[in-house]
Every structure is written in C-alpha cells, then in structure tokens.
Structure 1
Amino acid sequence: MLIGEVARRSGVSARMLRHYESLGLVSPSGRTGSGYREYSGQDIRRIFHIESLRSLGLSLREIGRALDDPGFTPSLLVDDLVRQTRERIAAETELLTLLRRVDATDPAGWDDVLQVVALLRALGSKSADARQRAALSSGDEVPVPVEALVEAALSETEPNVAGAIRWALARSGDRGPALLAAGLGSPVAAVRERAVQSLAELPGGEAA
C-alpha cells in the first residue's frame, strides 16, 4: 500500500509517516519499481499501535522503546503518565475556576480583568496582610467574586483576615448564604464553624 492510501486509512498524514520513518518508528517494508514507499499489513498495524500509544500520552521516544525493547515494562511509565495527567487536570481545573470567577465580575475591559486577577491572587496569598487587604478592597472598584470570598471564608484561619472576608461577604449581594450553606455539611468541624459564623454575620443572619 502506498503512503497516500496509508495516510487516508490510518488518519496519519504522509508528512507524519515520513517523520516516523526518520525516527525509526516504522519503515515501509518495500519500494515500488518507481521507488515509492510501499507499506505491508504489518507496517500498517505498527502505525496503529503507534497512534494508540500516542493517545495515552507517550512520547515518540517512549513509543519506540515500548514497541522494540522487550525489557521495557509499562507499569512505571503508566504510573508516571497517571501522575502527569492528574497534575494537568488540577492545573486546568484551577485555570477554569479563575476564568469563571473573572467572567462573573462582568469586566468592562482588560484593566478590570487584571484588577480581578490581582485581587484573587492576593486573596490566596500566603501573606495574611495581603489577604486582608484584598478582602477590604473588594467592591471598591472591581468586586471579588462571591465564590472566591466564600471559599476564603471557609478556609481562613487568621481571625483578622476572616473578619475582613466576612465583612466583604456582607457587601457582596444575596448569593453568599446559599454558597456558605454548603460548608455546613463539611466533614471538617472547623469549616462548619466558619460557615455558621459567616452566615450569622450576613445581613439577616441573626434573624435566620
């Protein structure tokens, strides 16, 4: 089978097939009388094996070892791929959360976006002073998304910062109570206590 037909059937471009050949991953078993590459059924099976391993996240170098080195066992490599995938998912989830929180503020321009990002980073800072300043500045120009304030309220251990966050929550609108209520079901006693205290300090909290 010629390279064009192999590319059509496998979904791998002719350019990539030539790249595989240059790396020694797969070589056509023969040539036509005109010198064109000719792939056998075994060559095509190897191409599909390469694509299957690529779909798992293996590099081309790792694929070569997997296919040609009898002593190359998959267990350690697969464990490493699992770890890398978890790290990538965690990073993507964090990015998605950040994007949603920026979007929730309905920014009018990029200056607003940058201010929201700066506030969110400060709210998650290791510095208690930075966290407190972020909470106290919420709503002055660009608001901190209420989801971020609730998350901070349920995790903050520094009393002064926690008070500033609850103050910001009280000014953040009417979505806070429903989000804070989720903390009441936490298996962690300290989180439940923070949820109760935050709810009590919201407008109408004492009456509730």
Structure 2
Amino acid sequence: MRIPARAGVLAAAFSTAVLTAPVAHATPPGDNGTVKIHDASTGEEQRRNEPHVCTFYLDGFGFDAGQQVDWHIEVWAPTAGTKGETVLSDTLTLDASGHGRTEDLSLPDGHYKLFWNFDGEKGSAKHKVFWTDCEETAAPSGSPSAAPSGSPSAAPSGEPEASASPSAASSSAAPAAGSAPQGGSGDLAETGNGAPVGLLAGVAAALVAAGGFLMFRRRRSSGA
C-alpha cells in the first residue's frame, strides 16, 4: 500500500513540473503597446495621434521591454503613385519601459500609411494613416509679411510725386507769367517813347521850314 501512494505523489509532482515548465518558457512577448504619429514639435510624453503633420516622428509606447520593431511607410490613396510602394523604413529597439521613438522624418505632401511590426504581434502589424502637408503650414507665415511690406512702400512713394507735381507746375508757370509783362511793357515803352519823338520832329521840321520861308520873303522885300 505504501508503494502505490508514493508512486502517486511522484506522478503528480512530475506532471505538474511537465505542464508548468513549458508554459513559462513559451510565453510570447505581449501585444499591448501602441504607436502614434507626432509632429516634430510635439513632446514624446504626449499620447495623442496627429494625422496631419509636416516634419514628424513615430512614437511607440506601452510595449514590452526591449522589443524589436520593424516599421515601414507606404504611399496610400488618394496620393498619386503606386499604392503599397514603400517610401521609408527602418528598425527600432524599445527601451526597458517599452517606449521608443524614431528620428524626425519628412515626406512630400501626400497621404501615407505606417506599418509597425514587432515580435508577439497578434494577427497583423499596428498601423496608422496620416497626411503630410508642409505647404499649408508655411502659407500663414508668408502672407502677413507680404501685406505690410507692400502698403507702407506704396503710400510714401505716391505722396512725394503728388506734392512735386504742383511745385513743378507753379515753377514752370512763373517764368511764363513773368515773360508776358516784360514783353508787353517793352513794347509799350517803345511805342510810347517813339510816338512823341516822331511828332516833335515833324513840328520842328515845320517850324524850321516856316522860319526859312519867312527869312526868304524878308530878304526879297528888302532888296526890292
């Protein structure tokens, strides 16, 4: 009776060791993390996703310590090009807290999809779709600077030209106005002076002639 009892205890202990040891050894890494698209100016501690970015980085957290990640980004509709074409790819080893981020990345404006593969994933890679749009981000910074520069320069340049115009007109008109009186006064002076001189000369000539005629008459009468 003692032998079967011992055999039963040994059998139970052996079966427990056989069942528990493989389970502990074969436990796969967890699939409990997440990945986000972050603008380059967003801090790593933020856990929100930003689907519209210019320069950006990939931020993974909540994974198992030291997990190895293989990621790639593909062109996605409606962006022109071949759907599924890989445009960026790299690997990343997460830290002891299951966190890791890539360096800052950039792509031409368009629509893309991230695929985040790692050991222990269930079914498929984690993924995110996002847009890059650097032109829209740069537009507001350009338009305010263009508006102020145009308006001040136009106003000052127009005012001096307008103020110069009356002065030019008055300066050009002044000599013309002055020349008319000079010319008129000259003509009037010559006409005024000339008329009395001619008249006096005629009178003088008549008097001389009359005087000569009288002297001639006297001489004849005295001689006779």
Same fold (TM over 0.5): no
The structure with the largest helix share of the pair is 1
Larger radius of gyration: 2
TM-score calculated relative to the size of structure 2: 0.23
TM-score, L = length of structure 1: 0.24
